[in-house]
């Protein structure tokens, strides 16, 4: 078999195993292990590479960013900062039709800069925003669509678990990936706000709703009290990385400590809830570590098969342009997004395309942003749109079906696709802060 046939067969085998109910990291690792054994007829080599993959994943210093930022996101969520951001944003957009939707996007953007989790955002804001929008006669599909669409900001605006995972796969600086994600994340948030304004103006039936009349506006002192802790957290985490005062690991530790302090001062945490947060952090970290280890094994299998060299040869022989490589990447990402979660897509696809991107002399930091945004669209597309499932599971409202959530998220998936094209066409958007 040719290297390309081996690569394609491995993807098919992984997808089939997942459909059969095999846990994604196990499917990824099992296919890689067996492929190496079959290709080299040496099971000892498979075990040796598995040992190396585990060691490289678990012993990597920068891996500490994953449990630290995960813990920070969970503790900040318990501290109730999401509700504070939303109440302030809702007041700011109160006089605009579709304003609650815009407030949800703005609050999610700020919340993302502290938690880095799309799932946390989807869970928190589906409880707050959807009932509020329906109270003011917004279309239920629009309400859940706004929450689903804006929840993906948690995986683009740093700190982001997906950017950390890409950093491991592509061997890039976590700090540089975080800085590169700032402008694209803000651009996507602005695009969502613009899309909501256009929808309210040209498709009012889809949006629905009416302007919010707030009887008692919050004084500036209360606004400052609600936004102050968030501003301090963002300054400590991202400001520390940007100025070089802290490494990403140190920033995660500082943010976690500050999150505990904020939660304690607000009376939102006790020893039991603290321990529950630690356990949940451990579960999430173990799952991500398992994925990274399996992906490391998969990348080694592709190397042994000779796929990177084969792809470069095909690229040179057929003179594939940058345009067609990007088209192939986006189509593959969108297809896999219908059946796999974001992390799995990145861990499977990125090793295939890294040799092509490097051969073209393109920035791997820019490619990471493109890959994450493309994979994130899968959070909004059926049948496995994870954010949509989280929203449906969180909402206690029989009037809203899973179909409503997916249809409501569709316009926001289209907006993401437009932003993705802009990021591909103008790499400077991702690299502006780094230059």
Q: Tens digit of pLDDT for each residue in 309-324?
A: 776 676 666 667 788 8
- Per-residue confidence band for 1, with pLDDT thresholds at 50, 70 and 90: low
Indicate if the alpha-carbon torsion angle 93, 96, 102, 104 is positive or negative: positive
| pLDDT (mean) for 356-366 | 86
Contact call for residues 227 and 106 (beta carbons, < 8 A): no
pLDDT tens-digit readout, 99-127: 888 888 888 888 777 776 676 677 777 87
Q: Are 79 and 259 in contact (CB under 8 A)?
A: yes
pLDDT at 382: 75
Per the CB < 8 A criterion, the answer to whether 414 and 194 are in contact is no
- Cβ–Cβ < 8 Å for 406, 147: no
Structure-token pair, residue 364:
């791997």
So what's the pLDDT on residue 312? 66
Q: Which of 61, 150, 168 is nearest to 113 (CA)?
A: 150
Task: Give the single-character DSSP code of 153.
Answer: G
d(CA 116, CA 155): 6
Determine the average pLDDT of the residues in 160-172: 84
Better-scored residue on pLDDT, 130 or 398: 130
């Amino acid at each position: 078999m040719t290297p390309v046939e081996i690569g394609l067969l491995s993807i098919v085998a992984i997808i089939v195993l997942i459909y059969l109910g095999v846990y994604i990291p196990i499917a990824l690792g099992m296919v890689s292990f067996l492929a190496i054994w079959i290709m080299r007829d040496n099971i000892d080599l498979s075990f040796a590479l598995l040992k190396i993959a585990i060691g490289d994943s678990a012993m990597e210093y920068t891996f500490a960013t994953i449990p630290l930022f995960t813990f920070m996101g969970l503790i900040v969520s318990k501290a109730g900062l999401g509700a504070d951001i939303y109440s302030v944003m809702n007041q700011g957009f109160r006089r605009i039709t579709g304003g609650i939707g815009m407030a949800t996007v703005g609050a999610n953007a700020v919340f993302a800069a502290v938690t880095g989790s799309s799932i946390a955002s989807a869970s928190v804001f589906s409880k707050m925003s959807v009932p509020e929008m329906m109270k003011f006669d917004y279309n239920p599909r629009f309400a859940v669509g706004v929450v689903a669409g804006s929840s993906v900001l948690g995986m683009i605006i740093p700190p982001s678990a997906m950017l950390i995972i890409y950093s491991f796969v592509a061997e890039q600086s976590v700090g540089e990936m975080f800085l590169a994600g700032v402008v694209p994340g803000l651009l996507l948030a602005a695009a969502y706000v613009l899309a909501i304004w256009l929808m309210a103006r040209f498709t009012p039936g889809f949006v629905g709703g009416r302007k919010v009349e707030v009887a008692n506006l919050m004084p500036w002192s209360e606004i400052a009290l609600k936004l102050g802790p968030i501003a301090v957290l963002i300054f400590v985490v991202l400001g520390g990385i940007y100025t070089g005062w802290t490494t990403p690991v140190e920033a995660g530790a500082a943010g976690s400590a500050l999150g505990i302090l904020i939660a304690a001062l607000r009376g939102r945490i006790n020893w039991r809830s603290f321990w529950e947060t630690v356990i949940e952090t451990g579960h999430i970290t173990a799952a991500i570590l398992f994925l990274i280890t399996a992906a490391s094994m998969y990348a080694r299998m592709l190397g042994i098969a000779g796929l990177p060299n084969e792809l470069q040869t095909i690229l040179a022989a057929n003179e594939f342009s940058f345009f067609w490589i990007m088209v192939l990447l986006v189509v593959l990402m969108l297809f896999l997004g219908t059946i796999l979660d974001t992390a799995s897509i990145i861990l499977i696809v990125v090793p295939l395309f890294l040799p092509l991107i490097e051969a073209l002399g393109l920035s791997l930091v820019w490619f990471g942003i493109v890959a994450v945004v493309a994979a994130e669209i899968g959070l909004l597309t059926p049948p496995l749109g994870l954010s949509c499932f989280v929203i449906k599971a969180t909402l206690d409202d029989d009037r809203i079906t899973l179909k409503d959530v997916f249809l409501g998220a569709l316009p926001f998936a289209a907006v993401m696709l437009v932003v993705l094209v802009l990021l591909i066409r103008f790499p400077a958007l991702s690299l502006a802060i780094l230059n």
